[in-house]
């Protein structure tokens, strides 16, 4: 932080000298333009960030020198929303730059920032608390880095945020219920180390895309999921350790195009109501403990191109399922189909299975 303070002091001294010089020599030289304070703050922030970078093998920030921040690689300027005559830093895109380092608190000076994209770098540490000042931030993408710590709760105070992507990091702990009260359109939490069940208020989220695969959530799918009927188009809940069943009211999610609940411990039958998801294009329920018949209504969905239901214990499927463009019914208990489980394995399952689907799922 000492280096960034020196930068701030140096810039202040330069500005003071310019101001004094223009005032005391007005008769000799024309007045100098008034510096843009937004770009001065941006320069302070970006120079502090460059000092916090420990590796830039592709020299992505090689031209991050001097006060002309609008010409820095990956930095995008636009007219300030409250003053169209003033330029300001509106976006930063360092995607796939392979830069290592941390995010300094000075980034909070970029108060007009709307887009902040850091996908596929090697940034570590936490999201600085100063991000709370970025009231115009619309998209925050820090995916595929090495960030750690608990969920970055600073995002709860970003009123303009619509797109949040923190996947492929080392965030851990609880998934806060507050995240599902945000007015987001897309939410990506997958491939972290979260280890709490999905909050009961999951269905309060207005997102159209929700991906939270490859965490240690456990628990069951909250009943409130059905409340997302008006907005949800894609949901990926794979490899979360989910238990319980797929509820009958899943059929209310009429706009759903992608549903993936694979690699969990779900049991019981597939709900007949899933045959009402007429926009569904991709469905994966593979690697669970689902059983019974694969409903013909699902396989007859008009837009379903890919249906994967392998590694379950289904006992029958309709001819409509066999006509799907892409399907995988292997490792089930379906007579006459190739690559099924052994008769002994199927018999053992149906003899010892619990009442997961027989009671709970039929009432939901």
Query: What is the average per-residue pLDDT within 145-171?
Result: 98
Least confident of 4-18, 47-61, 153-167, 237-251: 4-18
Q: What is the pLDDT of residue 359?
A: 45
Q: What 3-state DSSP class applies to 289?
A: strand
In this prediction, residue 34 carries a pLDDT of 61
Which among 114, 63, 66, 73 has a CA at the least distance from the CA of 94? Answer: 73
Superfamily of domain 174-364: Ribonuclease Inhibitor (3.80.10.10)
The pLDDT tens digits of the residues spanning 183-202 come to 999 999 999 999 999 999 99
Query: What percentage of residues in the chain have a pLDDT greater than 90?
Result: 86
Rounded to two decimals, the pTM is 0.89
Q: Token pair for residue 345? A: 């394995």
Question: Within the chain, which residue ranges are assigned CATH 3.80.10.10?
Answer: 1-166, 174-364
1-166, CATH topology level: 3.80.10
26 pLDDT above the threshold of 90: no
**Dihedral angle computed from the Cα positions of residues 324, 326, 330 and 333, in that order, rounded to the nearest 10 degrees:** -20
């Amino acid at each position: 932080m000492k280096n960034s303070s020196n930068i701030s002091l140096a810039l202040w001294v330069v500005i003071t000298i310019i101001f004094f010089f223009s005032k005391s020599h007005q008769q000799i030289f024309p007045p100098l333009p008034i510096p843009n304070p937004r770009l001065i703050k941006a320069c302070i922030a970006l120079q502090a960030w460059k000092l916090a970078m420990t590796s830039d093998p592709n020299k992505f920030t090689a031209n991050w020198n001097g006060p002309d921040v609008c010409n820095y690689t990956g930095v995008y300027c636009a007219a300030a929303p409250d003053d169209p005559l003033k330029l300001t830093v509106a976006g930063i895109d360092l995607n796939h730059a392979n830069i290592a380092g941390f995010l300094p608190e000075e980034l909070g000076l970029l108060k007009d920032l709307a887009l902040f994209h850091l996908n596929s770098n090697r940034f570590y540490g936490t999201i600085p608390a100063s991000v709370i000042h970025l009231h115009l931030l619309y998209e925050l993408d820090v995916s595929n880095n090495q960030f750690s710590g608990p969920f970055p709760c600073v995002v709860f105070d970003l009123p303009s945020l619509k797109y949040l992507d923190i996947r492929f990091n080392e965030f851990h702990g609880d998934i806060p219920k507050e995240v599902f009260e945000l007015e987001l359109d897309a939410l990506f939490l997958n491939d972290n180390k979260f280890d709490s069940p999905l909050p009961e208020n999951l269905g309060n989220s207005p997102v159209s895309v929700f991906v939270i695969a490859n965490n240690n959530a456990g628990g069951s799918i909250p009943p409130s999921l059905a409340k997302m009927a008006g907005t949800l188009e894609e949901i990926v809940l794979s490899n979360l350790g989910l238990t319980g069943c797929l509820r009958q009211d899943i059929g209310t999610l009429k706009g759903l195009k992608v549903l993936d609940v694979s690699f969990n411990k779900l049991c019981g039958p597939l709900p007949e109501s899933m045959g009402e998801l007429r926009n569904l294009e991709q469905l994966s329920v593979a690697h669970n403990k689902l059983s019974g018949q694969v409903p013909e209504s699902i396989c007859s969905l008009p837009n379903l191109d890919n249906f994967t239901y392998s590694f379950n214990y289904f006992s029958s499927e309709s001819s409509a399922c066999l006509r799907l463009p892409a399907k995988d019914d292997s490792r089930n208990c379906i007579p006459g189909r190739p690559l099924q489980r052994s008769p002994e394995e199927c018999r053992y399952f149906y003899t010892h299975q619990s009442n997961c689907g027989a009671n709970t799922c039929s009432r939901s």
